[in-house]
Amino acid sequence: MSEDANLLTRITENFQEVTNTGSEDAYLQLSGALEKMDSELRGYTQKLAIDEMKAVLLKLKNDEGLQAEDLGKLKSWIVGDAQYYINREKNFENWRADLERFIKEIKELWMEHPDHERLLRLRSLAHDALGAVSNIAFYVKQKDSVDKFNTATQEIGESERVVLVSLLEQKISTSSF
């Protein structure tokens, strides 16, 4: 599956280094290995589904009706990663509660002439709030993608068909193997 046969070994070793040292460099090394894994998995997933997507594309180009199975394949190809993410993610409400708490603390600490310690605490809270917002925004983006796909494919009229053909052609032409 992986062009880099040692990728899992590298990830495991990088994680062990994170566990042992907790250093920024160790986290950056692990991050790089995980990004490589993500890229390779994306390419492998596309390779596995390319023939099915070409068949769905042909049906769309010929204005043939798509069966439920075709729609399932299309959904998997276009928003499958987003669907898996929102199904798996269980922290959304915690992130929202954390964000609410961070904003409440920021409001309580905010003063016209804050002292040094208060400024440091405010910066720390701002950093924590940014992390929560980033997680929330990513979740919402994934959910919106799935929702838009579901809405767009409830009834595939001419305009939806044209968009899907264009999207599939683009994704097929840019697929990396």
- Could you report the per-residue pLDDT of 116-148, keeping only the tens digit for each? 999 999 999 999 999 999 999 999 999 999 999
Pairwise CA distance, residues 42 & 48, whole Å: 10
Give 147-152's long-range contacts (Cβ < 8 A, gap of 24+).
149/75, 149/78, 149/79, 150/75
Do 79 and 119 lie in one domain? The reply is yes
Pairwise CA distance, residues 143 & 167, whole Å: 19
What's the pLDDT score for residue 165? 92
What's the pLDDT score for residue 177? 52
162 occurs within a structural domain: no
- Could you report the per-residue pLDDT of 24-77, keeping only the tens digit for each? 999 999 999 999 999 899 888 888 999 999 999 999 999 998 999 999 999 999
- Domain range spanning residue 51? 1-65
Q: What's the total number of domains in the chain?
A: 2
Do 45 and 102 lie in one domain? The reply is no
Two tokens, residue 175:
């697929």
Do 80 and 148 lie in one domain? The reply is yes
